[in-house]
Amino acid sequence: MSESKRYESGLVVENRGHVRVLTLDRPERRNALSTDVQADLVEELLDAAEGGTVRALVLTGNGPAFCAGFDLKEIRAQDERGERFRPPMGRPGRSIFEVVTETPIPVVAALQGHAVAGGFELALACDLRVAAPGIKLGLPEATIGMGANFGSVVLPKRIPMGIALEMLLVGEYVSSEDAERWGLVNRIVDTDDVLPTALALAEKIAGNAPISVRRMKETAVKGVELPLWQALRLDVGPNPYLSEDRREGIAAYLEKRRPEWRGR
């Protein structure tokens, strides 16, 4: 059984057991990230991390595009009103990309359509990416005078520097097949199978010991650039070795039954 709600911004939230699905539902604007959508996404991500019942997240978009990035019409209207434009990291609220990256709950992006500009950055912030064949991915910010702040930092950490710089400086799109070859996309499946595949991955994650999953994600994300000796001694999040779930998991394995995780 699932339960859902819809924000006025166009964000749809659906809870399917321990999996929360966040859907950008502004197809007429190619799911552009308005200020309100960003705020609602941040709220849902923080709630999921604090609530204790959500164990995996799926982020997707409704319509032919996953997300076209920031809402340029909204930005232009603000410019015409003479409002001050603040860079992404200089705003009162937190960057949506930063929040996605830092949430301790695994996030799976279901890219059924093009993910460009801030939409591509949003996908980059997620942990796993399932994509349709032949969709466009990229950062065209240099062609319109924007900055791709998050992408400029993260993309060179994920793919070879030369390829990252070409994407950033030239501003042309690449295909999902290219992205899969470089390791940016985990799986390419038929368009109709993108969301079901992402949900299946999320459900598998949600079926594992929640403390172990959170610990592994936080250690992997925070330890990736640390020296080995320092990364091995990271102590982030709850400790699975000292949990009730560790005892339950071993007992269930030996007794050949499904474990009953309690998250403690």
Domain boundaries, the chain: 2-206, 210-254
The DSSP secondary-structure symbol of 58 reads E
The DSSP secondary-structure symbol of 90 reads G
Can you tell me the distance from the alpha carbon of 68 to that of 246, in angstroms, rounded to the nearest whole number?
Answer: 43
Helix (H, G, I), strand (E, B) or coil at 188: strand
Query: Distance between the two ends of the chain, CA-based, in angstroms?
Result: 25
Catalytic residue among 28, 43, 98, 121: 121
- Tens-of-pLDDT digits for all 264 residues of the chain? 568 899 999 999 999 999 999 999 999 999 999 999 999 999 999 999 997 899 999 999 999 999 998 888 887 888 888 888 787 777 777 899 999 999 999 999 999 999 999 999 999 999 999 999 999 999 999 999 998 999 999 999 999 999 999 999 999 999 999 999 999 999 999 999 999 999 999 999 999 999 999 999 999 999 989 999 999 999 988 899 999 999 999 999 999 999 999 989
pLDDT confidence of residue 83: 84
Q: Which helix H or strand E contains 67, and what residues bound it?
A: strand 65-67
Catalytic residue among 3, 14, 50, 141: 141
Determine the Cα angle at 247 with ends 242 and 250, to 5°. 130
- Asked about 177 being catalytic, the answer comes back as no
| CATH fold label, 2-206 | 2-enoyl-CoA Hydratase; Chain A, domain 1 (3.90.226)
Sign of torsion over alpha carbons 207, 3, 186, 214: negative
- Asked about 3 being catalytic, the answer comes back as no
Show the DSSP H helices in 58-108 as ranges.
Answer: 72-80, 96-102
Q: Side chain identity at 242, as an amino acid letter? A: L
